[in-house]
Structures are given as C-alpha cells and as structure tokens.
C-alpha cells in the first residue's frame, strides 16, 4: 500500500518512527512488569505465608493500591523526580527510566495482591505436606511460587496489560517527547489532540493487536505448562 | 528459583535496552506549548536544527503556564512559549536569563458554519465576544493557563465582560490542550479561540470554520528564554543558548517562515522587532 | 477447634514391631491422633513421648488420606521429598528409581504427578513418605477409595516397610485390612480409647461390648 499513512500502512511499511514507538512501549511496560514481578511476587508470597501484626491492613493496602489512578502515581513520581524534588539530582524526569519507575509502582501492587491470593490458595492445599516434610520458610515460598508459576503467568499478564494500556502516568513523567519518550498510548493522546483520529484509531488497533498476541502466546505457554505439570 | 532469576535477567535486559537513550547526552529539554507541537512546527524545524548542530531537542508540549512552571522547577533547559506578560513575570522572578522574541502568528475565532450567534465576518473581536455572551452561545475555553487561554481571557476583558462573574453553562473551561479544545468544539458545535497554526494543521475540522480573524488584538507573539543556570545548575547553558541563537538567526528565521501547510504560512518570524 | 474436645484422655502406648492400626467410626479421632503424632498439631494438654523421651524422631513421615501432589513430575515429587529429608543429591537418581519400583510406578518418573490416576497418586504419596527412610511411618486411610489391585500394592509395601523395622501407625475403615496388616489394634470412639490389644486376640475375643458391636458391623453410637 504505497502512500498509506494509516498506522497499519506505516507498520507494514516498517516505518522506523512508528516501530520505535512500538518498541519503546514494549520495552517500558515489559521492564516495569519484570521489575514489579521481582518485587511483587516475593512480597505477595510472604504476605500469604506469614502472620504479623498489621497483615490485614497490608492486604487491604495492596488491594487498594491496585485501584490507584495512574495519573496520581504519575504526579507523585513527577514530584519526586523533578529537579526541585528529592530525587531530582538523578535527572530522570522526562526519560524512559522515569516511565519504568512509574509503571513499576503501578504494577507491583497488582502482582503482589494477585500473587498473595494464588499462593494462599495453593498453601491451603500444600500446608500439611510441606509442614510434615519440615520445609523451612524461604524454601516454602520458593516452592509455592514455583508450583503456582502457571497461574502467576496470568498475574504477570494482568500487570503488563495495565502497564501497556495506561497513559496517565507516563505522559506526566515521560513528557511525550517525540522519538524519546513517546509510546503508543501517549502518541494516541497526541494524535487525538491534533484531530488526526484515523491515525489515533490505527495506533489503538495496533496496541490491541500487540496485547492480543502477547496474551495468546502466554495462553499457549500456560496450556503447555499445564499439560506438563497438571 | 528459576522464575525469579529469569525475571531478573529479563528486567535487567530491558533496562539495558533503554539505556542507549541515556547515552545521547548532546540533547536539551525544551518546555513549549501545545500549539507549537500540534501545529507541526517542531516536526519540521527540529530535524533541520539537529542536522546543523547535532543537538537533539526534546520537546515537552504543555500550556504556557505549565511550561513556565516546568522551567521554574529546573526540569527544562529552555522555555518557548507565547504569553508575554507571563514571560516577563518569569524573568522578573529570576527564572529566565533573557527573553528573545522569535515569531508570531495570530489567533482566530472558530465556530460552526451555522454560526448561531451571527459573528461571522466581524472585524472587532471584542464585539464578537460580546455577542457570543449575549446569545449564550456555547464557547469552549482551554481553561489551562496556556498562552491561548490567557489571550482569550484578555479578549473577554476587552469586551467589557468579567468572565468569572458572567459565565454560565454556555461557557465550558475544559482544562486541556488546543487540539482537545478543537475536538470538543467540533463535537458540540461551539465557538473556540485557536491559534492559526494549530487550526490549519488540525485534521478533525468537521463543520468548524474561521469566523473572525485579522483584529490586531488577536496577535500571538512567541518568545524563547534560557532557564537561569544560576538558579538551576543542571541547565545545559551552552546547548540551550545555541538553540536560541539559531532560532533568532537569519537562517532559523527563514526556516520558520518556510513552514507551510497547503501553501499557507503558519508563523511569521520577527526576532528583529525589539518591541515584540 | 476451640471448645470441642477431639481426643480425650487418650493414653496410648505404641510399641515397636508390626503395624499399629487405629480403627473406629467416623469422627473417632483417628486422624487427629495421627496428626498429633506427626507433630502437625500440639495437644492442648498432655504430651507425646518417643521411646520415653520428649524429643521427636528425626525420621518421621506421614501420608495423608488425600495427599496433595506437588505440581511437578512424579520424579520431581520424590526429588523434593529427598531434598527435604536431607538426602545427598548424588543419591537422588538411585533412590527415585528404587522408590518408584517399590510402589510399582516404574517408568512413570517423568509423568506429571497430578495427571496420574487416583491409585497411582496414592502410591506416589507413599513413595514420597518413604523418601527419607522413616523410622516412624504414619498412614491415614492409605487405601480409601482404591480398587483391590491398588490396595494390594500398597498393603504389600506397608508389609515390606514394617518388615524392615520401621514402625507403621495407620488408620483404616477397612476391618479386613486391619486384620491383614495389624500387629496391634486400637479402637477409638468419640476421642476415647475403647479397647486395644494384639490383632490376634482383638478380633477373636474382644474384651468390651463396644468392640463386639463394632466388629459385628453395627453402629456404635
């Protein structure tokens, strides 16, 4: 389709600017999801398995944090990373790294809360066996996380889905700088404001397509995993 | 523990992937307005500047007020906005080094072709505003302290209207950028004040058209300032000044004049006009 | 559990030798007694001693009535138990082979444990309990809801384990199984010990009315 300037046409033609936007979106959201997993999975598992004062409060807090609007997280990170803020000296505001920080803060509670639920359910099933085998606390957490790995794939996806589709936090901390911090969602916001609705819709469809493909891949992995481990 | 280890590796890899962005240190952050971005001027102008100097200019497009605040916090090296009074205040606070006029375009009053308030063709913009208010015809205001918003508020004042007191349901302040305001006006058949550049570049015009233009009170002057390095040591003084110098140089001014959409010139360089 | 007395004044001495079999109607406290011995719960009052000493034998294992299969292969389940029991890693392969052969699951090492049949899962659970070569093996209804062939495999293993000197304490609903395996029989009812004695005499000449009623297949209320 020569001369086609819709997002599809550009993507099919391998338009470098559009590909860079797609690549940055994926890099930011995947990094944030991975970091959030490193923090959230052990945290969720620890909350599931330990009894401490304020545990109930912690669970309510994690569940509530799942619903915090991205724009509030964006504003908070913005104030922290601004040159006039406490972490301003790192010069991270308006960089992809700042967007990763914001999305990590957004996704961690989702992964932690869902992990807690998953691990707690599995723990109800495993409790007697592991206790009878005298398994120590750290190994217990590792066992449950490993054995829940296929459910946790879904959890990670939920986190990635939220990260990839949000615009509120990254447009504030990233600044939507062309070729540097412009992602699919911030580009959609920009094209809409320029009144270029067809390009905005095209980008939206590309975004949906990517999310569908990643979900389908994860589904295949999950089914293959279940066939293996039951 | 395989999961956690591989996740960690993935995270590290992803971070490294985005690290090259850090390496391009010959770059500056310019806080500018939605109108300069939405009009497409930067997309045209910055590649030319980059080719000439190797400097990458990262533009944060905000309303004029917000862009100046970004400069006040030290989060930008250069501010490039259009509201002279706000710019002079910025200077008087010691936040900016010096203001350079760069170019102007003008505001236009946009409205539906049906023109319910019958303002089309008026040459006195204050009278047009007065009529819209009297007829309680729908009007979309940016409401975001942008240069366009400041200009709009001044026009109400010129029309002898205290908009804070006289506004009603017909007056909607949406608190968003120029493009969003045009989209809203298009969707609700309302009047809206826009800069001409954004209007020409705007693709979702629907049945909107220019109703009032040409009044000298609708003049829209852009100025550029280096954020004061004495206040914000992280400001990239030399690169920022290089950008400003290029904008006001005969070459930069010519590039601005050459930016056209459908044969229409959007901005008129006036760096040599000391009163601008 | 608060306020409900599950086991009451249960004084039971389990001697070395052939398996001790706990019998009694549902709710008698068989499972609770086994869980107490496994150390999964502490008695509200009273104590449990091993060889007259309060320290717990290191090699003690329990197989539950409904064992949970770890979401791993059959071999993975055994490897996990071997690791938990502190068996040296270099011995895993040999031990896994040996355990699977013992319970008749040869060749199923790579099969996902949760995709095994009910009888195979029960046998894998038994093999897992045996991974650490326990001195005390506690079995809660090891063959409930299994077909005769699977039941026979498990009973053979229990006999073999007991013959090698491990102490087996098990519960069962199946009086025939109690007869086939039992060295000593313990009849529990409503958390109390009603009668205990060697299997040979318990079944032929029960000493209490309750035991007679229970053995006759009548309801013990």
Task: Output the domain CATH number for residue C164.
Answer: 3.40.50.300
The confidence score (pLDDT) of residue A215 equals 83
Same domain, yes or no, for C52 and C139?
A: yes
Query: Do C115 and C146 fall within a single domain?
Result: no
Q: Which of B60, B89, B39, B44 lies closest to B223 in space, CA to CA? A: B89
pLDDT for residue C11: 67
Domain assignment of residue B130, given as a range: 106-218
Mean pLDDT of A181-191: 92
User: What phi, psi does A2 have (nearest 5°)?
Assistant: -65, 140
The pLDDT score that the predictor gives to residue B23 is: 45
Express each pLDDT in A112-165 by its tens digit: 999 999 999 999 999 999 999 999 989 999 999 999 988 898 889 889 989 999
C125 pLDDT above the threshold of 70: yes
> C140 lies in a domain?
yes
Identify from B11, B47, B142, B233 which residue to disrupt to test chain A contact, counting A C-beta atoms within 10 A and taking the largest count.
Answer: B11
- Measured CA to CA in angstroms, residue B7 lies from A37, A106, B14 at distances of 7, 18, 10
Same domain assignment for residues B95 and B115? no
Same domain (yes/no): C102, C170: no
B155 shares a domain with B118: yes
Task: Tell me: do B225 and B99 sit in the same domain.
Answer: yes
pLDDT one-digit tens code per residue, C127-154: 999 999 998 999 999 998 889 998 999 9
The partner residues of C217 in beta bridges, in order of sequence, read: none
Same domain, B236 and B204: no
Q: What integer is the mean pLDDT of C216-220?
A: 85
Domain total of chain B: 2
Local confidence pLDDT in tens for the 276 residues of chain B = 445 455 555 555 555 444 444 445 799 999 999 888 888 899 999 999 999 999 999 999 998 999 999 999 999 999 999 999 999 999 999 999 999 999 999 999 999 999 999 999 999 999 999 999 999 999 999 988 888 999 999 999 999 999 999 888 999 999 888 989 999 999 999 999 999 988 998 989 999 999 999 998 998 899 999 999 999 999 999 999 999 999 999 999 999 999 998 888 989 999 998 888
pLDDT digits (tens, 9 = 90+) for A136-145: 989 999 999 9
**Mean predicted lDDT score pLDDT of chain A:** 89
**For chain C, how many structural domains are there in total?**
2
- The predicted model gives C37-66 an average pLDDT of 80
CA distance C121 to C100: 12
| Domain shared by C113 and C76, yes or no | yes
Residues B110 and B214 in one domain: yes
Enumerate domains of chain A plus CATH numbers: 10-183 (1.10.3720.10)
Contact with chain B for residue A206, Cβ under 8 A: no
B60 SS3 class: strand
CA angle (C14 as vertex; C9, C17 as ends), nearest 5: 165
Enumerate chain B positions whose Cβ falls within 8 A of a Cβ in A: 1-4, 7-8, 10-11, 14-15, 17-18, 21-22, 29, 34, 37-38, 42-43, 56, 58-61, 72-75, 176-180, 182-183, 186, 201-205, 232, 234
Q: Do C84 and A133 touch (CB under 8 A)?
A: yes
- Domain contains C62: no
The verdict on residue B211 lying in a domain is: yes
Determine, yes or no, domain membership for C202.
Answer: yes
Question: Chain C 50-109, CB below 8 Å of chain A: which residues?
Answer: 61-62, 64, 67-73, 80-81, 84-85
Q: Which pLDDT belongs to residue A2?
A: 41
Kindly state the percentage of chain C with pLDDT values over 90. 62
Whole-angstrom Cα distance, residue A126 to residue C80?
13
Confidence of residue A3 (pLDDT cuts 50, 70, 90): very low
Angle in degrees, CA A75, A78, A82, rounded to 5: 150
Q: What does the pLDDT read at residue A229?
A: 61
Tens-place pLDDT, residues A10-51:
666 777 888 889 899 999 999 999 999 999 999 999 999 988
Helix (H, G, I), strand (E, B) or coil at A116: helix
For B28-70, what is each residue's pLDDT tens digit? 999 999 888 888 899 999 999 999 999 999 999 998 999 999 9
Mutation target for C interface from A123, A130, A133, A228: give the one with most C CBs within 10 A: A133
Structure confidence at residue C75 (pLDDT) = 96
Find, in chain A, the residue whose alpha carbon is nearest to that of C70. Answer: A147
Please report the pLDDT score of residue C23 as a whole number: 94
Instruction: Let me know whether B96 and B116 are in one domain.
Output: no
Give the model's pLDDT for residue B213. 94
Domain span holding position C87: 69-133
- Label residue A203 by pLDDT band (50, 70, 90): confident
The C-alpha atoms of residue B83 and residue B68 are separated, in whole angstroms, by 10
Any domain includes B65: yes
Residue with tokens 């308030």: B117
Distance of CA B186 to the CA centre of its chain: 20
pLDDT of residue C57: 64
- Per-residue pLDDT, A11: 66
Give me the pLDDT at residue B13, please: 52
B82 and B21 in a single domain? The answer is: yes
Q: What SS3 class is residue B253?
A: helix
């Amino acid at each position: 389709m020569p001369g086609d300037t819709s997002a599809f046409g550009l993507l099919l033609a391998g338009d470098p600017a559009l590909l860079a936007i797609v690549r940055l979106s994926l890099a930011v959201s995947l990094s944030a999801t991975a970091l959030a997993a490193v923090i959230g999975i052990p945290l969720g598992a620890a909350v599931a398995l330990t009894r401490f004062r304020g545990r109930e409060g912690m669970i309510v807090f994690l569940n509530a944090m799942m619903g915090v609007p991205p724009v509030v997280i964006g504003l908070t990170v913005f104030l922290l990373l601004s040159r006039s803020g406490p972490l301003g000296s790192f010069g991270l505001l308006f960089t992809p790294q700042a967007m990763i920080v914001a999305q990590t803060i957004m996704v961690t509670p989702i992964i932690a809360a869902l992990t807690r639920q998953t691990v707690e359910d599995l723990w109800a099933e495993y409790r007697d066996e592991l206790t009878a085998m005298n398994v120590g606390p750290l190994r217990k957490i590792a066992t449950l996380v490993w054995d829940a790995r296929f459910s946790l794939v879904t959890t990670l996806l939920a986190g990635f889905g939220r990260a990839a589709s949000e615009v509120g936090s990254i447009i504030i901390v990233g600044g939507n700088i062309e070729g540097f911090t412009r992602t699919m969602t911030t580009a959609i916001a920009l094209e809409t404001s320029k009144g270029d609705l067809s390009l905005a819709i095209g980008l939206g469809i590309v975004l949906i397509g990517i999310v569908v493909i990643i979900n389908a891949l994860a589904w295949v992995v999950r089914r293959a995993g279940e066939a293996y481990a039951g | 523990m395989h999961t956690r280890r591989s996740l960690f590796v993935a995270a590290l890899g992803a971070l490294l992937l985005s690290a090259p962005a850090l390496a391009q240190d010959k770059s500056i952050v310019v806080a500018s307005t939605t109108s300069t971005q939405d009009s497409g001027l930067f997309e045209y102008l910055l590649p030319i500047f980059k080719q000439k100097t190797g400097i990458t200019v990262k533009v944060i497009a905000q309303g004029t007020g917000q862009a100046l605040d970004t400069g006040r916090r030290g989060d930008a090296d250069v501010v490039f906005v259009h509201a002279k009074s706000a710019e002079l205040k910025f200077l008087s606070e010691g936040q900016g080094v010096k203001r350079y006029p760069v170019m102007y375009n003008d505001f236009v009053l946009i409205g539906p072709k049906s023109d319910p308030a019958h303002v089309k063709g008026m040459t006195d913009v204050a009278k047009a505003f007065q009529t819209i208010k009297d007829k309680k015809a729908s009007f979309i205001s940016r409401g975001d302290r942008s240069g366009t918003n400041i200009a709009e508020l001044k026009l109400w004042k010129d029309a002898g209207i205290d908009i804070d007191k006289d506004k009603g349901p017909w007056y909607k302040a949406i608190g968003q950028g120029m493009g969003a305001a045009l989209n809203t006006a298009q969707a609700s058949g309302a009047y809206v004040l826009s800069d001409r550049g954004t209007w020409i570049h705007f693709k979702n015009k629907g049945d909107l058209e220019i109703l009032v233009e040409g009044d000298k009170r609708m003049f829209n002057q852009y100025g550029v300032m280096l954020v004061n390095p004495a206040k914000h040591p992280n400001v990239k003084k030399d690169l920022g000044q290089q950008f400003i110098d290029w904008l006001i140089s005969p070459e930069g001014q010519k590039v601005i004049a050459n930016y056209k959409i459908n044969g229409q010139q959007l901005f008129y360089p006036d760096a040599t006009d000391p009163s601008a | 559990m608060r306020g409900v007395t599950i086991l009451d004044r249960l004084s039971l001495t389990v001697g070395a030798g052939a398996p001790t079999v706990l019998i009694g109607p549902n709710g008698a406290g068989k499972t609770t007694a086994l869980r107490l011995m496994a150390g999964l719960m502490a008695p509200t009052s009273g104590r449990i001693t091993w060889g007259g000493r309060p320290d717990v034998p290191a090699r003690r294992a329990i197989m539950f009535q409904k064992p949970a299969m770890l979401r791993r292969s059959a071999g993975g389940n055994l490897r996990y138990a071997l690791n938990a029991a502190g068996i040296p890693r270099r011995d895993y392969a040999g031990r896994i082979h040996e355990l699977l052969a013992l319970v008749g699951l040869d060749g199923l090492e790579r099969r996902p444990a949760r995709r095994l049949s009910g009888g195979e899962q029960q046998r894998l659970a038994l093999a897992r309990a045996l991974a650490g070569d326990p001195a005390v093996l506690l079995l809660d209804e090891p063959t409930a809801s299994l077909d005769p062939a699977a039941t026979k495999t498990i009973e053979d293993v229990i006999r073999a384990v007991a013959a090698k000197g491990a102490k087996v304490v098990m519960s069962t609903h199946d009086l025939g199984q109690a007869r086939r395996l039992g060295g000593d029989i313990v009849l529990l009812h409503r958390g109390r010990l009603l009668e205990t004695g060697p299997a040979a005499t318990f079944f032929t000449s029960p000493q209490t009315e309750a035991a007679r009623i229970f053995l006759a297949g009548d309801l013990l209320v």
